[in-house]
Structure 1
Amino acid sequence: MRGLNTRIVSLATTAAAVVVTAVASTPAAHATVVGTPVLRYSFDKGFSDDSGHGHALTVYAVRGGTTAAVANGAGQALRFPKHCTGRKCPRVVLQTASTDELNPGTAAFRYGATILLPKKETTSGQNVLQKGYSSAGGQYKLQIDGRAGRPSCVLVGTGRRGIHQARSPVSVADGAWHTIECQRSGSTLSVTVDGVVRDTATVPATLSVSNAAPLSIGGKGAYADNDQFQGTVDEVWVARG
């Protein structure tokens, strides 16, 4: 990350949460964002929002959790902590505060990321990107499910308990870069992996997502059982339309 200048918020330690390290595998292809971007992170210029909408990220970490900047082609990607079990494991997430433009309501929108995840780093579940929780206010989320490492897209409507999920039958946990996109359009939720639609799910056309929760990258939050992402991420984005 060239010219890195960011706020570090540590909940259990004063150690810096970002270090620079080596190259991350074969360079990833840049994601093509369709629609109107409202948030985008390439991590090439620290944790600033490349969309120009001002959604800068803050790092939250506990128990020495860190992210590491790794070279990815001509730019940078961000590596999260490796696999660890137990309540004393390091945890780290990146968050930006909620705004109206990050709450799509019932409108069509898309979100996604480019990730690299080795098979040995899979767990029962890892969250790449999420805004909101399944219990209240609605939610949209991109996660990697189970030891098989299958990506899925999740929507939960405001005031509703039903969880809607489109899950790829194809794993992305192979140590190579993969681009994943989630799209909600009307009553359809889809998950696309490397340009191929892998699954769709039907959602109510009236389903609305609007909450005050921050948008979080790498897990629910900096605490135990946070569904910590344990791979490398690049090109995280949210777009309308």
Structure 2
Amino acid sequence: MRTALLSCLFLVAATPEAAAASGDDLRMAVWPMEETAGSTWMTDTSGRGHHGQIGPEVGTGLSAGYEMSYRFARREPDTPPARPGHLVSVADHSDLDPGDRNFAVTVRLRTTHKFGNVIQKGQATVSGGSWKVQIPDGRATCTYRGSRGTIELRAPYKINDGEWHVVRCVRLREGVLLTIDGFPAASREGWTGTIGNGWPVTIGGKLDCDQVEVGCDYYAGDLDWITIEAA
């Protein structure tokens, strides 16, 4: 019964408000991204204290209709130097690792570009596994890499149309599900195992990169909010 309930909650809790209604125990981080222009810290409203450092190249205090948002400028792929100021970084914490739990990352984004890592914890070869949401070729993609294997899902259609979209990447014991604007876009059965590393969460691209040997995959576009849930 609890597994079925959690699965249901993870499928429907696709906004900060819905995440809050589903219970404080599920909310690992809630970043509304409503800071004013020139802010250097991103506030976590979950109550867990996972505030983030905003790089000087990240635009804050931008209008997203009735809300505020962040803007990430376009950076040429694989063209040095690396731009760490393009990132928002949140310190490592076990709350932000899936471990062996159900886990979900949800982002509201708007872009006209066709590449970039939106959010991630760890990179492809780090010990302990990793997770990320990215948008290659304008198609939302989510990846969970754990002790039992890797599942990567890519949406069959593009969302780099300049409109706001909610991308949700859910990891359950039964498998991984990618939804866009509340509708299933891709899924795969399988258990990825335990995921936990000592890396920070980075928003807007990779942390360990040089744009020569390792591309930084910088995201270009706007972000309105991000939530992380686990149980």
* TM more than 0.5: yes
Of the three residues 115, 133, 141, the one matched with 1:142 is 133
The structure with more helix, counted as a fraction of residues: 2
- Is contact 1:68-1:79 (8 Å) kept? yes
- Is contact 1:132-1:213 (8 Å) kept? yes
The answer to whether structure 1 residue 58 and structure 2 residue 57 are counterparts is no
CA deviations over 1:139-196 (Å, ceiling 9, x no partner): 11111022xx0001101014x6x43111110211000000000101113101000000
Q: Which residue of 2 aligns with 1:14?
A: none
CA deviations over 1:95-150 (Å, ceiling 9, x no partner): 111112112211111111000011xx223xx111111122121111111022xx00
SS at match of 1:98: coil
- Is contact 1:41-1:235 (8 Å) kept? yes
Of the three residues 183, 190, 207, the one matched with 1:203 is 190
* TM-score (normalised: structure 2): 0.79
Residue identity matched to 1:131: K
Q: Which residue of 2 aligns with 1:75?
A: 67
- Is contact 2:101-2:172 (8 Å) kept? yes
Change (3 A) 1:222 1:93: farther
The answer to whether structure 1 residue 87 and structure 2 residue 80 are counterparts is yes
The structure with more strand, counted as a fraction of residues: 1
Change (3 A) 1:210 1:90: closer
Over the residues paired in the alignment, what is the CA RMSD in angstroms? 2.2
Moved more, 50-59 or 191-200: 50-59
CA deviations over 1:18-62 (Å, ceiling 9, x no partner): xxxxxxxxxxx955435611101111145110111111111346x
Residue identity matched to 1:151: A
Unaligned runs of 5+ in 2: 1-13
Q: Distance in 1 between matches of 2:82 and 2:198?
A: 28
* TM-score (normalised: structure 1): 0.76
- Is contact 2:82-2:216 (8 Å) kept? no
Equivalent positions of 1:40-189 (< 5 A) are: 40-45=30-35, 47-60=42-55, 65-85=57-77, 86-88=79-81, 90=83, 92-118=86-112, 121-123=113-115, 126-135=116-125, 136-146=127-137, 149-158=138-147, 162-189=149-176
